[in-house]
Amino acid sequence: MKSKWILLLALCLTMPLFAQNDTVRILHEAQLPERTEVREQSFATEDTPELKKTPDSLVRVEVTTIHYFTDTLTRIAYVPDSTAQQRIDTVHADSTDRRGHYIEAHVGLGYGSLGYTLDGPANRVSGSFSALLQLQYAYFFHQNWGVGVGLWFTNYTSMAHLGGDYTWLDQTDSDTEEHYDHTATVNRWRERETIHNLGIPVSLQFQYKDDDWKARIFAAVGVAPSFSVMKKYKVLEGEIAHKGDYPAWGLTLDNNIHEFGTKTDYPERRESQGELAVAIPQVAVFADLGALIPVGKQVDFFVGGYFNIVANDANKSEKKALGWRDADFLFMDMYPGAYATNLASASHPWEAGVKVGIHWHYIKPDQHKTVDYFDYFTRQDTLVDMLARRDTVVTERIDTLTRAHIAKAAEEVEKFNKIYFDYDSYKLREESKNYLASIVGVLNKVPDAKIAIDGHASEEGQRRHNERLAYNRAKAVAKFLVEQGIEKKRVIVIGHGSLIPNEENVNHELPLDRRAEVKVVQKQSDIK
């Protein structure tokens, strides 16, 4: 009996040892993962009913597993540096500046007339071929406006057509016969009248080009004092038949009488041609409208239309009745041409047509100068931040970037946020592409933030051209970021032209102002 109690006592003493060994094993297994922490608690309660029924002790073990999460935030740090250099810079002439000196040469072809009419139902005046040669100098004092002066040589030509009966009352013949009424019948009469003028056109000129157009609009209006260098008329065909009643002779002239009959040879005679009497000077007003198509840096091809008209009355002839004179008809006046008859109205010569030409624009040559500058370069460092977290429940995390993260990302991006461009270009350099590709990962860490891209240009060139160029530079950067995976709706493109200089450009070097700057912003109001 005594030995039984000894055995029971030994069993009770060894039970806690067996339970401690189990606890050590559980702790050891739980600590095998590097992210597991075990907290244990063991105790035995002898007051419970179960202990009274059994001789065994109870051991309670609590194991708490704590999960650690490690986040990696990669930062790209650019450390700027520079070295002093010297280079020869070429200052290019601004071909977009249309101010300056021009030489303009035009040739034209059109339709013209002496601009008068003839009385009588059978009479009429028609126009004919017209040509124009023009050479002038122009100075554009404004991008769109200029003045010009030069020389032109042009001609105005009309065709006069005559017909009908013309009667002279109470005439006498060469033998002083009794008075009679004499009638001249004009058949198929046609003559050419031409005035060749040398003019001095003085004009106000206008040219305009939109950025999206290849050609420019060109227009000119002005006045041109003109002086006639040739003014001729020539009978080309026709006949005049004379008839009348001679009471003393009892004879009636008819076309069939050879002695007084039709003069079919008149167009071949010396009297069939002569000079016109015209005003000197004649003052013409004119207008041109067309397009200038660039064919070189300094040369434009012009194509368009022209119109000019003489403002004052060009006909200064002593008006005479339609008549005839030769050895057989001494009672009649010599024929002076239709332009000088009393049938002709006031004359305002005009012409209209198309013309082509060349406009040559003087542009100053490129200038070369020595420039001292700092050659800027950057050293790129990659920083990795390890962020540790502990969680006892959630094994799956959701990272939410706060405004502080956005500000931190903006600070990292703006350490070196300037993208530089070549002269008058918005094409990305290879080193710019490498930099933009490197910050895409940082920008993707802030999906709630927007990216503002500001484009800038140097002071060279015209304001509108620089505004478009600056906008295109910002747009080129935005396009590249979108191609690298940045959402298009997050990117804001702004063009500032040449209004905002580079704050780092202390030496005022033009290449450092040809840039685009990348900024990270939280909302629209953060954009300056």
Quick: pLDDT tens for 162-197: 988 877 777 665 555 556 677 777 888 899 999 999
- 258 and 116 share a domain? yes
CATH number at residue 412: 3.30.1330.60
pTM, two decimals, is: 0.52
Kindly state the helix (H) or strand (E) to which residue 16 belongs, with its residue range: helix 2-30
Q: Give kind and range of the element (H or E) at residue 19.
A: helix 2-30
- Whether residues 24 and 172 share a domain: the answer is no
| Residues 275 and 161 occupy one common structural domain | yes
User: Would 54 be classed as within a structural domain?
Assistant: yes
pLDDT category of residue 95 using cuts at 50, 70 and 90: confident
Tell me, letter by letter, the H, E, C secondary structure of 223-243.
Answer: EEEEEEEEEEEEEEEEEEEEE
In a domain, 310, yes or no: yes
Q: What is the pLDDT of residues 17-43, one digit of tens each?
A: 433 333 333 333 333 333 333 333 333
What is the per-residue pLDDT for 66? 58
CA-based R_g, the chain, Å: 52
380 falls within a domain = no
The whole-number pLDDT of residue 417 equals 77
How many domains is the chain built from? 3
Indicate left, alpha or beta for 476 from its phi (over 0: left) and psi (-120 to 50: alpha): alpha
Quote the mean pLDDT of the chain.
77
Strand partners, 379: 79
Domain check: are 281 and 151 in the same one?
yes
Average the pLDDT over each of 55-64, 120-129, 142-151, 296-305 and give the range with the smallest value.
55-64
User: Which tokens belong to 503?
Assistant: 């704050």
Higher pLDDT, 91 or 135: 135
- The answer as to whether 372 is a domain residue is no
Q: Give the residue from 65, 91, 109 where a domain finishes.
A: 65
* 423 shares a domain with 357: no
Q: Where are the beta strands (DSSP E) in 254-366?
A: 273-275, 282-294, 299-310, 350-361
Say yes or no: 167 and 315 in one domain.
yes
pLDDT more than 70, % of the chain: 69
Question: How high is the pLDDT of residue 55?
Answer: 40
Q: Residue 86's pLDDT is what?
A: 81
Q: What is the predicted pLDDT for the residue at 36? A: 37
Q: What is the DSSP string of 108-176?
A: EEEEEE----BSSTT-EEEEEEEEEEEEEEEEESSSSEEEEEEEEEEEEEEEEEEEEEEEEEEE--TT-
| Each residue's pLDDT tens digit, 290-319 | 999 999 888 999 999 999 999 999 999 988
Are 431 and 303 contained in the same domain?
A: no
- Strands 202-208 vs 145-171: parallel, antiparallel or unpaired: antiparallel
Q: What residue numbers bound the domain in which 26 lies? A: 2-65
Token readout for 228 is: 């006639």
Same domain, 193 and 322: yes
Give one DSSP letter per residue of 22-88, joined into a string.
Answer: HHHHHHHHHTSSTT----------SSSHHHHH-SPPP--------EEEEEEEEEEEEEEEEEEEEEE
* Residue at a domain's end among 361, 376, 404: 361
Asked if 319 and 187 sit in the same domain, the reply is: yes
pLDDT band at 438 (very low <50, low <70, confident <90, very high): confident
340 domain residue, yes or no: yes
3-state secondary structure of 254: coil
Per-residue pLDDT at 308? 96
Together in a domain, 111 and 50: no
Q: What is the pLDDT of residue 126?
A: 94
- Any domain includes 366: no
Say what the pLDDT of residue 300 is. Answer: 94
In a domain, 492, yes or no: yes
Is the pLDDT at 252 greater than 70? The verdict is no
Between CA 457 and CA 474 the distance in angstroms is 11
Domain ends where: 319, 343, 361? 361
Contact between residue 345 and residue 369 where contact means Cβ atoms under 8 Å apart: no
Regarding whether 483 and 406 lie in a shared domain, the answer is: yes
The domain spanning residue 281 has which CATH number? 2.40.160.20
Residue of higher predicted confidence among 400 and 224: 224
Look up residue 295 and give its two tokens: 């064919």
Q: Same domain, yes or no, for 333 and 416?
A: no
pLDDT reported for residue 30: 33
Lowest-confidence region among 269-283, 373-387, 493-507: 373-387
- Residue 124: inside a domain: yes
- Lowest mean pLDDT across 99-103, 141-145, 412-416: 412-416
